[in-house]
Amino acid sequence: MCSIFGLYKYEGWVFESAYELGHEGPRLPQHRMNLSYDGKSLLYFYLFYTLCKQTCGKLYHMPEFLAMSILILLFSVILHEVMHGWVALKFGDHTAERAGRLTLNPIPHIDLFGTVLLPALLIMTGSPILFGWAKPVPVNPLNFRSLRRGELMVSAAGVVANFTLAIVAAIIFHILNALPQTFPALLGSLLLFTVKINLVLGIFNLFPIPPLDGSKVLLSQLPYKWAKEYQKFERYGILILLILLMIPFGQSSLLHTILGFFVDIFSRILGF
């Protein structure tokens, strides 16, 4: 597995009761519409450096591979975020659209310090850990035509996008591999990297730890009383992830081991 810690995420939550919102029935925790970085937006960019090394061996040192793998990572991360906003739009929320965030153009999603300067500084200093963030994608569930279904679909959209990219890359790899003529090793390594990094992003975001997407999917399905109690753990989400990252387990951390276990299972399903 890779060793890069740094993450992007699209919004934390703030709980608003039905009475505070002026509604008769209870409301689920709501996503904030803060367009600037906050502490709960740190979550995403995970496992890049070591993943490149283990997936591609000697090719990792090729400038062409490193440049292309960075582009693949950025595309995968941005598509994940855009899908949150796009699905929210389909449920009646125009917040991301009005903010100009429904685009694959990386510029609107880039935070100058968190996406560019800090990761570049860590790379240049040879740090084994890469840490960064992007601007959060704004979503307002109060605009959804169906609140509970909208919360579920919007939260799952980014994960579905990553799994779809992994499946498409795997299909292309196997088709090329079945052809009688050989194809360039660089292309094969990039396709394999696309599979691995998107499985990492998809599976990681399915963890039911706030503010990851898996916690929002679970939250949208819980009864109101349970959702209210579960939401209290949101303030400890980043701390829990850091603790899991620091707890040693074998030759890696507990978080790496858990993530690697599921990535290996899905990799085998896709034929790797």
Q: Is residue 6 part of a domain?
A: no
Q: If you average pLDDT over each of 5-14, 40-49, 69-78, which comes out highest? A: 69-78
Are the CB atoms for 54 and 39 separated by under 8 Å? no
Among the ranges given (65-79, 178-192, 206-220), the one the predictor scored with the smallest mean pLDDT? 65-79
**Which two structure tokens, joined as six digits, stand for 198?**
């998107």
Catalytic positions, written as ranges: 81
The parent domain of residue 148 ranges over: 13-17+25-269
- Identify the CA nearest to 109 among candidates 71, 135, 90, 70: 135
User: Which tops the pLDDT comparison, 47 or 98?
Assistant: 98
Per DSSP, the three-state class of 134 is coil
**Using 50, 70 and 90 to split pLDDT, how confident is the model at 94?**
very high
Could you tell me how many helices (H) and strands (E) the chain has, helices first?
11, 4
Q: Is the pTM of this model over 0.85?
A: no
Q: Is residue 252 part of a domain?
A: yes
Interval 218-263: pLDDT, tens = 888 888 888 888 888 878 887 887 788 788 887 777 888 888 899 9
The count of C-alpha atoms lying within 13 angstroms of the C-alpha of 123, restricted to the half-sphere facing its C-beta, is 13
Are the CB atoms for 200 and 264 separated by under 8 Å? no
What is the spatial distance between Cα 142 and Cα 154, in angstroms, rounded to a whole number? 13
Q: Is residue 5 part of a domain?
A: no
Instruction: Specify the pLDDT at position 54.
Output: 57
Instruction: Specify the pLDDT at position 5.
Output: 31
Q: Is residue 147 part of a domain?
A: yes
- Identify the CA nearest to 201 among candidates 247, 243, 157, 147: 157
Instruction: Specify the pLDDT at position 160.
Output: 96
Interval 112-167: pLDDT, tens = 776 777 667 766 766 555 555 667 788 898 899 888 899 899 999 999 999 999 99
Alpha-carbon distances of 179 from 54, 184, 195, rounded to whole Å: 25, 12, 20
Interval 24-72: pLDDT, tens = 333 444 443 333 333 333 444 444 555 555 555 555 567 777 778 778 8
Q: Is residue 123 part of a domain?
A: yes
CB neighbourhood size of 147 (10 A): 18
Instruction: Specify the pLDDT at position 181.
Output: 84
Model confidence at 95: pLDDT above 90: yes
What is the spatial distance between Cα 270 and Cα 96, in angstroms, rounded to a whole number? 33
Q: How many domains are contained in the chain?
A: 1
Give the list of residues 6+ apart from residue 109 with CB closer than 8 angstroms, or none.
78, 81, 101, 115, 134, 135, 137
Is residue 70 classed exposed, middle or buried when 0-12, 13-18 and 19+ CB atoms within 10 A define those classes?
A: middle
Q: Is residue 92 part of a domain?
A: yes
Q: Is residue 7 part of a domain?
A: no
Q: Is residue 8 part of a domain?
A: no
